[in-house]
Amino acid sequence: MKTRQTGQWFALLTVALMSAACTTAAGARADDVENLRDLAVAAPESVGLSSTRVERLEAGMRQFVEDGRLAGVHTLLARHGKIVSSSVAGVTSVENGTPLTEDAIYLIYSMSKPITGVAMMMLYEEGKWRLNDPVTKFIPEFENLQVYAGDGADGEPLLEDASRPMTMRELMTHSSGLAYGLGSRNAVDRMYRESGVLDFQNKPLQSMIDTLSETPLLYQPGERWYYSIAVDVQGYLVEKLSGQPFDEFLQERIFAPLGMVDTAFYVPLDKLDRLALIHGEGEDGGLTVQQNGDPTQPPAGPSGGGGLYSTTLDYMRFSQMVLNGGALDGVRLLAPRSVEMMRTNHLQEQALSTMAPGSGFGLDFGVVHGPSCRR
């Protein structure tokens, strides 16, 4: 079966218009901003949008479904903390034709990563770790890692010693030297795939650490930016630093306080009828269901990099908490300074030079910097 990584893979598309550079209004107290940005429903014009253009956006998103490019789409639009549009079209599955609803549940893949980052920053505020700490302080298995240095004449990978341990800052910015295994462009990514390091459904997080400790880094720590398994390693660190299973930490410290009632690493049986299935392109060019595994079974290793299920509104609540500087509906998870740290570029010059111009990376958040962000 032919597949491609396009919009056909996804049943969820959340659209949120947010203030430039994710900053609060000049001179406003953080608590005042939070109280105003409560995700109440409002008319588009009340937050500076045009109803006509919002309707045009909704029609454009529905067109993806009508053209057969998406099975379903839920477009939730907010600005200045007010929801101005919620538009649903399509089905949860092209096989059964169940209509998509506003409370549909999706596998959110890498949208899990910012949630893991917030968990890490909560522990940062508690003094459990610092940016310049070596990761080996908390994961001794990463002592004496080797680094991929190209291929030899016989095609076998050449290895060299790591120049130094990766730091927590580098782990949080995808500049640690870790790879991912999502493709096979280099020997290290192929090693990840062959080892099954991403098999979180069947293997605990400790198994991931054990595998990574025996696998070379793709590059020297701090040398470049490379999208990686680092956020899954952070999920393991949340367990180590908090003394709680990762999934329990997220539920008790983030999901329950924020009212994210449908976010978890699995879908309970009584919510299964709300699950939007994953679709891809079949041989005939049409959409076909490509759901893998049993979503009702909790994984052996909860993946902080890509394993959460959630709804559009749940994720909007999380996003608004971040935009509010760490609080929502009277519940504060992070100090404004911690959120500012997350959205500030932390890549050093050498690694930053490997990203596209104007791009950078904060603490589990991609960032855009330069004159366009200061308007």
Among residues 85, 113, 124, 192, which one is catalytic? 113
The C-alpha R_g of the chain, in whole angstroms, comes to 21
DSSP 253: I
359 forms beta bridges with: 368
Within 10 angstroms of residue 259's Cβ, the number of other Cβ atoms is 13
For 3-8, which contacts have Cβ atoms below 8 Å and span 24 or more sequence positions?
Answer: 3/280, 3/281, 3/290, 4/280, 4/281, 6/69, 6/281, 7/64, 7/69, 7/70, 8/69, 8/70, 8/279, 8/280, 8/281, 8/287
DSSP 271-321: GGGGBPPPEEE-TTSSEEE---S-TTSPPSS--TTT--EE-HHHHHHHHHH
Q: Which residues in 75-94 are b (16+ Cβ under 10 Å) and which e?
A: bbbbbbbbbbbbbbbbbbbb
Two tokens, residue 365: 């958040």
The yes-or-no answer on residue 137 being catalytic is: no
- Cα gap 253→125, rounded to integer Å: 13
Among residues 46, 50, 51, 110, which one is catalytic? 110
Pairing of strands 359-361, 40-41: unpaired
Question: Which candidate, 354, 306, 362, 336, places its Cα nearest to that of 172?
Answer: 362
- Cα gap 58→51, rounded to integer Å: 10
The yes-or-no answer on residue 93 being catalytic is: no
Among residues 109, 227, 338, 359, which one is catalytic? 227
Residue 327 and residue 261 in contact, taking contact as beta carbons nearer than 8 Å? no
Instruction: Give the E-state strand segments of the chain in sequence order.
Output: 40-41, 72-79, 82-90, 106-107, 146-151, 157-161, 279-281, 287-289, 309-310, 327-328, 331-332, 359-361, 366-368
The yes-or-no answer on residue 180 being catalytic is: no
- Cα gap 214→148, rounded to integer Å: 12
Two tokens, residue 133: 């700490």
- Kindly list the catalytic residues: 110, 113, 227
